[in-house]
């Protein structure tokens, strides 16, 4: 029996953090103009990393973290691999050249001590074909469904191929951000939990919306998020469980404060607690939030 969530999460501690110019043109949530000195930005990002890590660990959820590299400004977002509950893993293709460098050999070696590496599609980077792991694909692991929003970082054909090869049903759709172009990652607009799915249907193009609505309602209760809440990273959340098998939702403080009381009440029907930590520097200059900082280790 597959499980949706894990009690073990993976993080990468940033050695250096700054706004990545190579990702900015596809990420409309990322600020490229620096308002403060580079060393201060890195210092704040490191403190925010530890704040989130500590908040998670205090609830009895295990976190493994490795030290990042100075040549990788987005190393704090470890979304270049996936693990599965059969103790296998796969590695994916990344769009930005400096994000491809995040796949450090010592990190892969560490992971392959536990997981069998069954596929590595990094070679597709040379063909400009990108599928950025759990950011491009939001998994309903129990029902073997992948949700994927097409974008420059999520190649539709490769996503179809991946789902066919790995025996997942695909819910494929197009999105439109507040800037009028596709939302760069699917995990910005939705997450899947054991009992509940949080999703912004308003940013899904009208011709796909009812199809997606039908699919998310098939096995789950649905928490609808607004397009404005997506800009506050309310969709960038992840479920995890502790050593007592209690379920938690992990988001940023910015996202938590953007939820209304009815939404929080609804979430607390499914979760012991909503874990949140303040990560404004990482959100501002990285254009990603709490879910982007966490990868499940099954």
User: Does the residue 151 lie in any domain?
Assistant: yes
Per-residue tokens: 130 = 């990108």
Confidence category of residue 293, pLDDT binned at 50, 70, 90: very high
User: Does the residue 2 lie in any domain?
Assistant: no
Could you tell me the CATH number of the domain that includes residue 16? 3.75.10.10
pLDDT digits (tens, 9 = 90+) for 231-259: 999 999 999 999 999 999 999 999 999 99
In sign, the C-alpha dihedral spanning 35, 41, 45, 48 is negative
pLDDT at 25 over 60: no
User: Does the residue 1 lie in any domain?
Assistant: no
Please, which residues have CB within 8 angstroms of residue 159's CB and are 6 or more apart in sequence? 131, 136, 137, 146, 148, 150, 170, 172
What average pLDDT does range 159-164 have in this prediction? 98
User: Does the residue 37 lie in any domain?
Assistant: yes
Which domain covers residue 18, as residue numbers? 8-296
User: Does the residue 3 lie in any domain?
Assistant: no
User: Does the residue 272 lie in any domain?
Assistant: yes
Q: Give the rounded percent of residues in the chain with a pLDDT score beyond 70.
A: 97
What's the pLDDT score for residue 269? 98
Looking at the 3D structure of the chain, how many domains does it have?
1
Cα–Cα distance, 46 to 266 (Å, whole number): 32
pLDDT at 19 over 90: no
Report the predicted TM-score, pTM, of the whole model to 2 decimal places.
0.96
Cα–Cα distance, 204 to 191 (Å, whole number): 14
User: Does the residue 171 lie in any domain?
Assistant: yes
pLDDT digits (tens, 9 = 90+) for 68-123: 999 999 999 999 999 999 999 999 999 999 999 999 999 999 999 999 999 999 99
pLDDT digits (tens, 9 = 90+) for 192-238: 999 999 999 999 999 999 999 999 999 999 999 999 999 999 999 99
Q: Which residue, chain included where needed, has tokens 């890195």?
A: 42
pLDDT at 28 over 90: no
Label the pairing between strands 295-296 and 273-277.
unpaired
Between 30 and 35, residue with greater pLDDT: 35
User: Does the residue 236 lie in any domain?
Assistant: yes
Task: Give the largest CA-CA distance in the chain.
Answer: 50
pLDDT at 29 over 70: no
């Amino acid at each position: 029996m597959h499980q949706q969530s894990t009690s073990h999460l993976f993080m990468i501690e940033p050695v250096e953090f700054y706004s990545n110019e190579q990702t900015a043109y596809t990420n409309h949530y990322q600020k490229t103009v620096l308002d403060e000195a580079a060393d201060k930005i890195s210092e704040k990002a490191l403190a925010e990393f530890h704040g989130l890590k500590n908040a998670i660990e205090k609830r009895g959820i295990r976190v493994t973290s490795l030290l990042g590299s100075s040549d990788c400004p987005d190393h704090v977002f470890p979304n270049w691999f996936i693990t599965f509950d059969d103790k296998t893993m796969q590695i994916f293709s990344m769009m930005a050249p400096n994000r491809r460098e995040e796949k450090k050999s010592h990190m892969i070696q560490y992971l392959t001590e536990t997981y069998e590496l069954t596929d590595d599609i990094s070679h597709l980077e040379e063909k400009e074909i990108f599928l950025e792991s759990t950011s491009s694909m939001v998994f309903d692991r129990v029902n073997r469904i992948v949700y994927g929003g097409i974008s420059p970082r999520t190649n539709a054909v490769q996503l179809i191929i991946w789902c066919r090869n790995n025996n997942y049903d695909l819910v494929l759709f197009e999105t439109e951000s507040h800037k009028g172009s596709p939302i760069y990652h699917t995990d910005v607009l939705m997450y899947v939990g054991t009992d509940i799915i949080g999703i912004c249907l308003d940013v899904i193009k009208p011709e796909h919306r009812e199809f997606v609505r039908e699919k998310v309602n098939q096995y789950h209760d649905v928490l609808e998020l607004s397009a404005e809440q997506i800009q506050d990273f309310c969709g960038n959340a992840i479920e995890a469980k502790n050593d007592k098998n209690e379920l938690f939702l992990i988001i940023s403080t910015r996202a938590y404060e953007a939820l209304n009381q009815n939404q929080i009440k609804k979430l607390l029907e499914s979760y012991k607690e909503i874990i949140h930590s303040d990560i404004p520097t990482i959100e501002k200059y990285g254009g990603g939030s709490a879910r982007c900082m966490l990868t499940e280790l099954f």
